[in-house]
Amino acid sequence: MGKSRTIIIAGAGIAGLTAALSLANAGFRVQVIEKAKTIDTAGVGIQLSPNATRILAGLGLSRAISAAGFTPENVIITNGATGTILSRLPLGESIRTRHEFPYLVLHRADLAAILLAAARENPEISVDFATSFEDAAMYSNGVTVMALRAGEMVEYSGCALIGADGVGSLVRERIVKGAPAKPAGEVAWRALVPVEKLHPYTDLTNTRLWIAKNGHVVTYPVRASRMLNIVAITPKETGRKLSRRVEDIAPDRLLAFFNEWSDDVCQLLASADNWSGWPLREINPAGHWTKKTTALIGDAAHAMLPYLAQGGAAAIEDAMVLAKCLAQQPEDIPLALGKYSNQRKLRTRKIWHTARKYGRIYHMRGLSAVGRDIFLRTANSRLLGNFSANRLQSQMDWLYGWKG
């Protein structure tokens, strides 16, 4: 396959590798360049809802992700201050039955390894690590990419450039000229705790969510329930001086923020000793995503708050739609990329704003929080049984039931 069918992807994260697999399936040759020396093995988890597992299954990865993942039975929402359970949204079999594909939780390194192994097995995909995108020159029928590898500038030629280089995207900054990511004002603290360090009654069956004034905590098991993934969200003051992801943070300020939360939350957070802090950043999807033969996907196009657990899923959806549009119009790349961005903007806007709305609801205070708790408890009343479970699930149909 010649240069005219080669697509260059900057970034081998979830977006870049899923796009590589989707594009190779659609008949393109793919060159991925990744600035890191190896895939990111950051020790944290990821939830994958059926809109994402459906696409990964279509790429032949169903068995691999199911073997590496775990299907939580429910999302259990608890008031973080009082410890009162407010709501239980079924995930397990009922979600699989409703949407045909599972809701899974995985270790990120396992997902990355599965995507990379599939890319390596595909003769149409090359992945060059330790190679950093620097700049590109676009022509009406293609693009030349300049990248830095071991201190030397190297060039790649192709028919299109895909910027899958995350929230700090250089492709966004230098080629598409999009606005930079904005600090969201909150910090995500992440840790993985081996089961032996947890309280014996720790829930390893469900995704748990504790919500209260200005923050929330999420947990779910990974690695065959041998570890618990914890994400704690706090206001930015708690993470002052953090301007980017920082590993091995002393947890004093984090624990101080949650000091007055219920005992189970305090005990849970105290069990972790390997915290990393991630100041959250957002990119509004309303901006430009494409320029001539270049397009952005994933966080580079629409980095969102993680409160709906959808940033990675939306990146996977982008990859599928991008491949579909390019396969339909391979002779007119700018037109194909324009169609891709038009299709994706509407949906990612809805997801992006819904994630923000969820944050406001989780972090409510005073009377608003009382009203929220009453609503959640009523919506999940035992008296309403299956009817209420069905009603709660149907509210997520637009998201989890998406088929492209």
Ligand X SMILES: Cc1cc2nc3c(=O)[nH]c(=O)nc-3n(C[C@H](O)[C@H](O)[C@H](O)COP(=O)(O)OP(=O)(O)OC[C@H]3O[C@@H](n4cnc5c(N)ncnc54)[C@H](O)[C@@H]3O)c2cc1C
Binding site for ligand X (CB under 6 A): 10-16, 33-36, 40, 46-47, 132-133, 164-166, 170, 188, 190, 231, 278, 298-300, 306, 309-313, 315
Report the 10 Å Cβ neighbour count for 218.
Answer: 23
Contacts of 191 (CB under 8 A, 6+ apart): 229, 230, 272, 273, 274, 275, 276
End-to-end CA distance of the chain: 28
Name which of 14 and 64 has its Cβ closer to ligand X. Answer: 14
Q: Which two tokens stand for residue 142?
A: 């293609």
Name which of 178 and 306 has its Cβ closer to ligand X. Answer: 306
Q: How far is the CB of 371 from ligand X (least distance, A)?
A: 27
Cβ distance 361 to 79 under 8 Å?
no
Q: How far is the CB of 16 from ligand X (least distance, A)?
A: 6
Place of tokens 């903007």: 345
Q: How far is the CB of 21 from ligand X (least distance, A)?
A: 13
Q: How far is the CB of 226 from ligand X (least distance, A)?
A: 19
Q: How far is the CB of 40 from ligand X (least distance, A)?
A: 5
Name which of 166 and 334 has its Cβ closer to ligand X. Answer: 166
Q: How far is the CB of 162 from ligand X (least distance, A)?
A: 11
Q: Would you give the DSSP letter of residue 5?
A: G
Q: Which two tokens stand for residue 46?
A: 């990821």
Name which of 231 and 373 has its Cβ closer to ligand X. Answer: 231
Cβ distance 292 to 334 under 8 Å?
yes
Contacts of 102 (CB under 8 A, 6+ apart): 50, 53, 66, 69, 71, 95, 96
Name which of 136 and 326 has its Cβ closer to ligand X. Answer: 136
Name which of 19 and 373 has its Cβ closer to ligand X. Answer: 19
At residue 357, the 3 state secondary structure works out as: helix
Name which of 148 and 204 has its Cβ closer to ligand X. Answer: 148
Name which of 258 and 278 has its Cβ closer to ligand X. Answer: 278
Contacts of 194 (CB under 8 A, 6+ apart): 226, 227
- 152 exposure class (CB count in 10 Å sphere: 0-12, 13-18, 19+): exposed
Of 66, 86, 84, 62, nearest to 74 by C-alpha is 86
Q: How far is the CB of 300 from ligand X (least distance, A)?
A: 6
Q: How far is the CB of 194 from ligand X (least distance, A)?
A: 20
Beta bridge partners of 146: 135, 155
Cβ distance 192 to 44 under 8 Å?
yes
